[in-house]
């Protein structure tokens, strides 16, 4: 009954068009971190323990991007690092407690359950492009250099009397392209004051889907617990995150993928987590305004000088069964606190003689303590909560967080620092361990069997192409997210304490100089099946735009890159100077890719490089299937390779099937039909070809959806006019 009343009030306060919205989503694709945002509060995917996988076009903290692949005849969704996330809201109005699980909630068996029109009511969602260069190559006169290059704004109502507006921002700039910043506005839309308001940012972190599917043939929570993953908390940065034990070196492709310009030989190198940038302090309830239970021992440490409870209130690691009764217990002020506060120097570190900016010693005493005893046994789910708030009608709570992903937890030399977690269950206090990395494997007690964590990978292998040198670890990424949000100078928060209650309630995104933007590019076929990469001169006119002063340095040249797979290896075709006479003619640049192969997919990007060596992001990443114009008259049709030897070691990537299984028919007209027969004359497959292309790849899949066996096969091609031609090919497995 109470939920029905709340829904009626919500509908009366929003526009008539708003409540007709259905669950909808937009995707962040501008940066190296791709993420799906829903107008229900869900982030990444509908949460579950891993069974549902990740749908095409709906990334869940995917880093690096474009990572779906078909490998060894298996389809991998890619390098996704989250089982889903969302916002939990609870509030008391006129003595009635309401809970809203806007994402990150399951049924009692850990399976996905709907939140739309149950806990949240979609209002709107919009994605805004704010890039200096438009898709047609012209400069964007509406570009705002003081905001993100990509903005997604979603609004939804809740059963708790609060309407949430979430604005997320992403950038393509190298060094600033591995995080997404979220600003939340939670407004009380009721005529009553809401009491004991609880806010929890709840995520399932699981780096990475690809690595676990390669190791275990699945992506499931059971493979993380007491095994390969560790939950950790960076006390200086207010950052909760997950890491893999070893990075999972690939057993088959390690040497190939470890080469320069490639993806790297570690299948799970990611450390992925959530960074707190700002929390609302002003609306925190004082001692007389809350019914929250504080134990006798807690009461000595949890109240600050203003008689408000020190934040964060809730730190909880949990398994992937996030059913509602579990969540309500965490957000109920009249139940005991799920995880207690730090009570002294015996259960934390970083205290020492450190004094915060407010003059209070022992900064973390009294604040919510992560349960390090669960950081190995239940590492996936992180509930990061703030409470209790008193929220009058019409007023809002403001929070800002950042999703962050780095190439491991630390850099070379970071082992001198420690953070909370990373050990096994029931280890003694204080539960702190050195920061591991892929630069040096370290051994410390209470880490399970084996006792080694991290690896020496980066001692002998280069960084993968998608990692910006100098911004390697999740700690590096977090520092730049803090810099970009606060507008403060770049600081490494290794010994300096971040204080999110003293940061701006909204981001100040105008203090970092931007790299010279990349141009828009087009890829064209030629009759010789040599791809033509083209772009115009528009970005060279940046000196005349109002925001030219924001540029890091003037343009020097362009770099033209290609790969056979979106994850690499990326090779440099050439560096092209401004008006380079080799490539520039009639106000356009034209570069030919002589390495392109007929019927194969190639991937291209053109980067702008400034006079100080700074580079643009990979914003014009383009996939292209190399083709030549169809023949005018049907003649001889060729199959290649012939014979097809499946163990030939072909490289590259093809979104349609396993590249080693690919046969290609060349010499086709625009409209024709290919029929393939076995040696005994049985029809194996019929392919209808209707495209202005010389060839047509086929992946040995029969009409019964089976892979062809070794043998001799015949084909007949018939064009639209009835003309035919025929031939044969051999498959050897």
3-state secondary structure 540-601: HHHHHCCCHHHECCCEEEEEEEEECCCCCCCEEEEEEECCCCCCEECCEEEEEECCCCCCCE
How would DSSP label each residue in 693-723?
-SEEEE-SB-TTS-BPPSEEEEEEEEETTS-
Q: Dihedral (C-alpha) 456, 460, 463, 468: value to the nearest 10 degrees?
A: 90
Residue 511, in any domain of the structure: no
Residue 361 above 90 pLDDT?
A: no
pLDDT of residue 8: 53
Residue 368 DSSP symbol: B
**Does the pLDDT of residue 73 top 70, yes or no?**
yes
Pairing outcome for strands 724-732 and 644-645: parallel
Gap between the Cα atoms of 245 and 230, Å rounded = 7
Name the least confident of 166-180, 315-329, 398-412, 654-668.
654-668
Lowest mean pLDDT segment, chosen from 291-295, 383-387, 567-571, 682-686: 291-295
Can you read off the two tokens belonging to residue 331?
């957000």
In a domain, residue 370? The reply is yes
Q: What are phi and psi of 527, to 5 degrees?
A: -65, -25
CATH number at residue 606: 2.60.40.10
Q: Which pairs from 645-654 meet CB under 8 Å and 24+ separation?
A: 645/732, 646/731, 646/732, 646/733, 647/733, 651/564, 651/565, 652/564, 652/565, 652/600, 652/601, 653/69, 653/70, 653/564, 653/565, 653/566, 653/567, 653/601, 653/603, 654/70, 654/600, 654/601, 654/697
Q: What is the CA radius of gyration of the chain?
A: 28
Rounded (to 5) percent helix, strand, coil in the chain: 10, 35, 50
Residue of 663 and 348 predicted with greater confidence: 663
Give the three-class secondary structure for 427.
coil
Q: Cα separation of 65 and 567, whole Å? A: 8
In a domain, 15, yes or no: yes
Structural domain total, the chain: 3
Residue 17: its pLDDT value, please?
42
pLDDT for the residue 357: 40
First to last CA, the chain: 65
What's the CA gap between 622 and 538, in Å, rounded? 19
Tokens encoding 245: 């034990």
Strand partners, 571: 562
CA distances from 101 to 89, 106, 286 (A): 7, 10, 26
697: domain CATH number is 2.60.40.4070
- Supply the mean pLDDT for the chain: 90
Which domain-ending residue is among 471, 502, 533? 502
Give the integer Cα–Cα distance in Å for 279 and 324.
Answer: 25
Residues 584 and 715 in one domain: no
166 vs 374, residue with greater confidence = 166
Whether a cis peptide bond, with omega within 30° of 0, leads into 430 is yes
315 lies in some domain: yes
- Whole-angstrom Cα distance, residue 705 to residue 426? 51
- pTM for this predicted structure: 0.93
Label the pairing between strands 638-640 and 601-610: unpaired
Please tell me whether the peptide bond between 363 and the residue prior to it is cis, using omega within 30 degrees of 0. no
Cβ burial, residue 718 (10 Å; 0-12/13-18/19+): middle
Of the CA atoms within 13 Å of residue 43, those in its CB half-sphere come to 28
Give the list of residues 6+ apart from residue 716 with CB closer than 8 angstroms, or none.
674, 675, 677, 724, 725, 726
**For residue 337, pLDDT beyond 70:** yes
pLDDT band at 168 (very low <50, low <70, confident <90, very high): very high
Residue 513 domain flag: no
Q: What is the distance between the alpha carbons of residues 178 and 232, in angstroms, rounded to a whole number?
A: 19
- Residue 409 sits in the same domain as residue 362: yes
Give the DSSP letter string of 610-626: ETTS-B--STT-EEEE-
pLDDT per residue over 350-360, tens digit each?
A: 444 333 343 34
Of 313-322, 361-370, 393-402, the poorest mean pLDDT is in 361-370
Contact call for residues 236 and 495 (beta carbons, < 8 A): yes
| pLDDT tens-place string over residues 182-202 | 999 999 999 999 999 999 999
Q: Looking at the structure, do residues 488 and 439 belong to the same domain, yes or no?
A: yes
Query: What single-letter DSSP state applies at residue 497?
Result: P
| Pick from 307-321, 436-450, 572-586, 590-604: least confident | 436-450
Q: Report the alpha-carbon angle 38-44-46, nearest 5.
A: 75
Same domain, 651 and 534: no
Is 509 domain-assigned? no
Q: What is the pLDDT of residues 320-334, one digit of tens each?
A: 889 999 999 999 998
Structure tokens at 131: 């890039």
pLDDT digits (tens, 9 = 90+) for 134-153: 999 999 999 999 999 999 99
Clarify whether residues 382 and 323 are in a common domain. Answer: yes
**Structure confidence at residue 9 as a pLDDT band (50, 70, 90):** low
Confidence of residue 650 (pLDDT cuts 50, 70, 90): low
Give 230-287 pLDDT, tens digit per residue.
999 999 999 999 999 999 999 999 999 999 999 999 999 999 999 999 999 999 999 9
> Considering the domain boundaries, does residue 631 fall inside one?
no
Q: Which of 457, 473, 502 is the endpoint of a domain? A: 502
Q: Report which of 283, 325, 272 is spatially closest to residue 106, judged by C-alpha positions.
A: 325
Tell me, yes or no, whether 89 and 145 share the same domain: yes
Q: What distance in Å separates the CA atoms of residue 564 and residue 580, rounded to the nearest whole number?
A: 26
Backbone torsions φ then ψ of 137, nearest 5 degrees: 95, -15
Q: Are residues 422 and 367 in the same domain?
A: yes
Q: Select from 502, 534, 562 the last residue of a domain.
A: 502
Distance CA 148, CA 128 (A): 9
Contact 367, 342 (CB under 8 A): yes
- pLDDT tens per residue across span 672-688: 999 999 999 999 999 99
> 393: how many CB neighbours lie within 10 A of its CB?
13
Average pLDDT score over residue span 35-58: 93
- The kind and range of the H/E element at 608 are strand 601-610
Least Cα distance to 139 among 127, 131, 149 occurs for 131
3-state secondary structure 154-218: EEEEECCCEEEEEEEEECCCCCCCCEEEEEEEEEECCCCCEEEEEEEEEEEECCCHHHHHHHHCC
With a pLDDT cut of 70, the percent of the chain lying above it is 94
pLDDT in tens, 80-115: 999 999 999 999 999 999 999 999 999 988 889 999
Top-confidence residue, 5 or 477: 477
Beta bridge partners of 240: 233, 274
How would you list the strands of the sheet with 588-593, edge to edge? 521-524, 531-536, 588-593, 584-585
Q: What is the pLDDT of residues 585-638, one digit of tens each?
A: 999 999 999 999 888 889 999 999 999 999 999 999 999 999 888 998 999 999
The partner residues of 204 in beta bridges, in order of sequence, read 84, 381
The Cα 65–Cα 405 span in angstroms is 12
Structure tokens, 195? 């009491």
Q: Per-residue pLDDT for 16 more than 50?
A: no
Q: What is the pLDDT of residue 7?
A: 53
Handedness of CA 325, 327, 330, 334 (dihedral sign): negative
Same-domain pairing of 620 and 655: no
In sequence order, which residues have a C-beta less than 8 Å from that of residue 185 and are 6 or more positions away?
164, 165, 166, 167, 396, 397, 398
The mean per-residue pLDDT over the stretch 34-38 comes to 98
Cβ(724)–Cβ(716) under 8 Å?
yes
Q: How confident is the model at residue 346 (pLDDT cuts 50, 70, 90)?
A: low
Whether residue 508 lies inside any domain: the answer is no
Better pLDDT: 365 or 35: 35
Q: Give the 3-state secondary structure of residue 486.
A: helix
689-700 average pLDDT score: 86
Query: Rounded to whole angstroms, how far apart are CA atoms 586 and 620?
Result: 22
> Contact 404/273 with Cβ under 8 angstroms?
yes
pLDDT band at 374 (very low <50, low <70, confident <90, very high): confident
Q: What is the pLDDT of residue 81?
A: 96
CA pair distance 359, 375, nearest whole angstrom: 31
| Residue 714 near residue 677 (C-beta atoms within 8 A) | yes
Task: Report how far residue 68's alpha carbon sits from residue 506's, in angstroms, rounded to the nearest whole number.
Answer: 35
Whether residues 477 and 341 share a domain: the answer is: yes
Better pLDDT: 456 or 697: 456
Nearest to 602 by CA among 573, 560, 575, 566: 566
Whether residue 537 is found in the same domain as residue 678: no
Round to whole Å and give the CA distance between 32 and 177.
5
What is the mean predicted confidence (pLDDT) over 501-524? 94
In terms of domains, do 145 and 234 share one? yes
| Of 114-118, 166-170, 596-600, the least confident | 596-600
**Residues spanned by the domain of 716:** 638-732
The region, left, alpha or beta by phi > 0 then psi within -120 to 50, assigned to residue 161 is: left
Does 533 share its domain with 619?
A: yes
Q: Using DSSP, state whether 418 is helix, strand or coil.
A: strand
């Amino acid at each position: 009954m109470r939920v029905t009343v709340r829904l009626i009030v919500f509908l009366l306060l929003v526009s008539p068009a708003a409540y007709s919205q259905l669950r909808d989503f937009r995707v962040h694709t501008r940066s190296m971190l791709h993420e799906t945002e829903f107008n229900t509060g869900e982030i990444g995917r509908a949460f579950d323990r891993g069974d549902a996988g990740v749908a095409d076009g709906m990334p869940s903290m995917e880093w690096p991007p474009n990572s779906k692949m078909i490998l060894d005849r298996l389809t991998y969704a890619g390098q996704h690092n989250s089982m889903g996330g969302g916002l939990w809201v609870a509030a008391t109005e006129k003595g009635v407690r309401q809970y809203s699980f806007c994402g990150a909630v399951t049924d009692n068996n850990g399976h996905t359950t709907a939140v739309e029109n149950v806990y949240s009511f979609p209002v709107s969602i919009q994605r805004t492009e704010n890039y200096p260069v438009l898709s047609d190559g012209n400069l964007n006169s509406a570009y705002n250099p003081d905001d993100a290059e990509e903005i997604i704004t979603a609004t939804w109502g809740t059963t708790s009397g609060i309407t949430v507006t979430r604005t997320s921002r992403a950038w393509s700039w190298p060094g600033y392209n591995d995080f997404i910043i979220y600003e939340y506005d939670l407004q009380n839309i009721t005529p009553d004051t809401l009491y004991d308001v609880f806010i929890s940012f709840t995520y399932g972190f699981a780096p990475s889907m690809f690595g676990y599917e390669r190791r275990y043939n699945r992506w499931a929570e059971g493979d993380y617990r007491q095994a390969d993953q560790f939950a950790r908390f960076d006390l200086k940065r207010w950052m909760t995150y997950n890491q893999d034990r070893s990075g999972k070196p690939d057993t088959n492709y390690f040497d190939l993928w470890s080469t320069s310009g490639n993806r790297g030989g570690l299948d799970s190198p990611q450390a992925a987590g959530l960074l707190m940038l700002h929390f609302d302090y002003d609306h925190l309830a004082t001692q007389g305004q809350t019914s929250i239970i504080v134990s006798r021992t807690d009461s000595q440490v949890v109240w600050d000088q203003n008689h408000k409870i020190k934040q964060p209130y809730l730190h909880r690691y949990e398994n992937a069964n996030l059913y509602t009764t579990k969540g309500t217990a965490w957000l109920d002020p009249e139940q005991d606190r799920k995880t207690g506060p730090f009570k002294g120097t015996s259960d934390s570190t970083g205290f020492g003689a450190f004094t915060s900016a407010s003059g209070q010693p022992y900064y973390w005493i009294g604040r919510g303590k992560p349960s390090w005893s669960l950081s190995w046994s239940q590492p996936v789910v992180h509930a990061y909560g703030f409470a209790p708030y008193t929220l009058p009608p019409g007023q809002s709570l403001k929070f800002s967080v950042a999703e962050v992903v780095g190439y491991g937890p630390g850099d070379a030399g970071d082992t001198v620092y420690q953070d909370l977690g990373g050990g096994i269950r029931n280890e003694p206090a204080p539960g702190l361990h050195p920061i591991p990395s892929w630069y040096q494997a370290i051994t410390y007690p209470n880490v399970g069997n084996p006792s080694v964590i991290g690896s020496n990978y980066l001692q002998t292998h280069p960084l993968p192409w998608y990692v910006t040198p100098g911004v390697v670890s999740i700690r590096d990424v977090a520092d730049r997210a803090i810099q970009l949000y606060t507008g403060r100078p770049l600081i490494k928060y290794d010994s300096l304490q971040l204080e999110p209650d003293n940061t701006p309630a909204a981001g100040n995104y105008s203090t970092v100089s931007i790299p010279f933007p990349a141009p828009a590019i087009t890829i064209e076929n030629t009759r010789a099946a040599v791809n033509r990469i083209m772009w115009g001169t528009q970005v060279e006119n940046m000196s005349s735009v109002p925001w030219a002063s924001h540029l890091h340095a003037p343009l020097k040249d362009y770099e033209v890159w290609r790969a056979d797979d979106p994850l690499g290896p990326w090779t440099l075709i050439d560096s092209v100077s401004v008006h380079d006479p080799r490539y520039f003619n009639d106000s356009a640049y034209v570069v030919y890719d002589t390495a392109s192969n007929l019927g194969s997919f190639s991937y291209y990007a053109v980067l702008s490089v400034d006079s100080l060596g700074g580079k643009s992001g990979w914003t014009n990443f383009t996939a292209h299937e190399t083709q030549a114009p169809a023949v005018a008259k049907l003649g001889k049709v060729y199959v290649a390779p012939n014979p097809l030897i499946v163990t030939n070691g072909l490289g590259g990537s093809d979104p349609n099937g396993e590249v080693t299984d690919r046969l290609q028919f060349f010499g086709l007209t625009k409209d024709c039909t290919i029929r393939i027969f076995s040696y005994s004359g049985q029809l194996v497959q019929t392919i209808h070809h209707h495209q202005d292309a010389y060839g047509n790849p086929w992946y040995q899949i029969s009409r019964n959806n089976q892979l062809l066996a070794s043998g001799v096969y015949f084909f007949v091609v018939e064009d639209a006019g009835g003309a035919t031609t025929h031939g044969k090919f051999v498959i050897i497995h």
